[in-house]
A and B are shown apart, each in its own frame.
Chain A
């Protein structure tokens, strides 16, 4: 009977905590909203994103340098001098200077696109280099637009390049996008993809949208020649659990490079009026089988909330709220367990490491192979969740006094694992390491590799 009372009390407390968390989140969002309004108002005085003055020179002739530099594309019959001039007078905004944005910007600058705008809020770090090929060792810590600008000007000093070092949001997006002819979506998250699509519909700009993950890539052009917008195709955002980012799923640089280069190609086709633009079609690229596939997607949705004749959404909204996801690809720290149910890596090192215990690393095998703690055994999360680990550790699990420690890369999956194992073995001591291997590197052993 006592246990029943305790159980009820626990359930009640958990519910109250959840309600308080929801209330806290809602207040934080309201504060964020007010902060944005204040900073938007302050920025109106000196607005670095303000559209350029309309006195942008219209080039009607190619210089001798242009002719020498672009000769191999100038002699293409469908491109020619007129194509080159259109490119020289064009301006393209690239949102996201990562794996897609770098190659896209590189080909556009090299081809002689007159004006490029680069948007990113992030800084260059070493894990970028394998695919974000404009950034380099000497510019670690620079903002990505500034680093990319530096590399691009070396490639083509005639290109005018503007850095927009900021996270695109509903307050700054229209102002930034307004002065460009074509927009490239090279972003890494769902919220930014909806924001860009809506903004491009409102400003009537073609949106060349690319994405990549692991060995796969996808590409299409939205809001062009009466074709659909992103919302026509995806009226409802995907559930959060179904979205994987490059930091967790991995991605091959040559795959983002393939899609990024093709985004540049589609932008050039839109600007020059060349060939058949990839609108109303979706190109899917499977790098593992080297297959490209072109599929016919739906037309404009007659009841689309944004691009139909009677739109319901006529100004930008809160896209993080709409998607239930942050507008970046950084992993949010999860708190599924209470602090008492978890262990700091320092505590583990000082109190437990020398004692008998079972240390289970729940990362996928490919990640376990990169680095592992001494004595750790690898049981991928999937094998925890389908209970196949029970057979493997049968005899050890019979001993209720053997502490079980679960860990992963950052301490999120390990919490899911603790919840699951604990439901099977409620009498055991089962905890996870807060912050996972990243915390291990940061607080215990700086020589432990980080990825």
Chain B
């Protein structure tokens, strides 16, 4: 038996992917022995996959204004924001807000 894994999907939309090596979809296998909140996931993302200017993604412990976080296509605000605990096969989507027209 190997170490248990927590498998989730990360997605980026509307330009947020540019901060993460221009990859729109990633399948992650996190350490399943630990609890993973979104707060912890953000720290992990910062340390491991954020390639461009961090201030365009994070502000303090949370995402910067203008980025929406969706968990399984639902606004994270309805699910506890930073405290939401990730479940197997969750889909976490980061969207930059567009302003152009």
Which residues of A approach B to under 8 Å, CB–CB? 96, 98-101, 186-190, 193, 210-214, 216-218, 233-239, 241-246, 249, 251, 256, 282, 284, 286, 289, 293-299, 329
Contact A295 B73 (CB under 8 A): yes
Cα distance A190–B97 in the bound complex, in angstroms: 10
Across the interface, name the chain B residue whose C-beta is closest to A217: B98
Tally chain B residues at the interface, Cβ within 8 Å: 26
Which B residues, 32 to 79, have Cβ-Cβ distances below 8 Å to chain A? 53, 55-56, 59, 64-66, 68, 70, 73-75, 77-78
How far apart are A128's CB and chain B's nearest CB, in angstroms? 12
Is the C-beta of B93 less than 8 angstroms from some C-beta in chain A?
yes
Is the C-beta of B15 less than 8 angstroms from some C-beta in chain A?
yes
Cα distance A299–B79 in the bound complex, in angstroms: 12
Asked if A249 meets B100 with Cβ closer than 8 Å, knowing A241-B56, A284-B13, A296-B73, the reply is yes
Asked if A218 meets B65 with Cβ closer than 8 Å, knowing A242-B56, A298-B78, the reply is no
Selected contact of B101 from candidates A188, A236, A298, CB within 8 Å: A188
- Give chain A residues whose Cβ lies under 8 Å from the Cβ of B14: 213, 216, 218, 284, 286
Cα distance A188–B101 in the bound complex, in angstroms: 5
Total contacts A-B at CB 8 Å:
103
Contact B100 A212 (CB under 8 A): yes
Is the C-beta of B95 less than 8 angstroms from some C-beta in chain A?
yes
Asked if A216 meets B99 with Cβ closer than 8 Å, knowing A237-B65, A242-B66, the reply is no
Asked if A296 meets B66 with Cβ closer than 8 Å, knowing A98-B101, A284-B13, the reply is no
Contact A297 B75 (CB under 8 A): yes
How far apart are B81's CB and chain A's nearest CB, in angstroms? 10
Cα distance A193–B77 in the bound complex, in angstroms: 22
Contact A295 B75 (CB under 8 A): yes
Across the interface, name the chain B residue whose C-beta is closest to A288: B24
**Can you list, as one digit per residue, whether each of B84-96 has a CB less than 8 Å from chain A (1) or not (0)?**
0000000001011
Contact A213 B75 (CB under 8 A): no
Contact B97 A188 (CB under 8 A): no
Supply 18 further A-B pairs (C-beta < 8 A) apart from A213-B99, A234-B65, A246-B101.
A100-B101, A188-B101, A211-B100, A212-B100, A213-B15, A216-B14, A218-B14, A238-B66, A241-B55, A242-B96, A249-B100, A251-B100, A284-B95, A286-B13, A286-B14, A296-B74, A296-B75, A296-B78
Across the interface, name the chain B residue whose C-beta is closest to A187: B101
- Give chain B residues whose Cβ lies under 8 Å from the Cβ of A193: 99
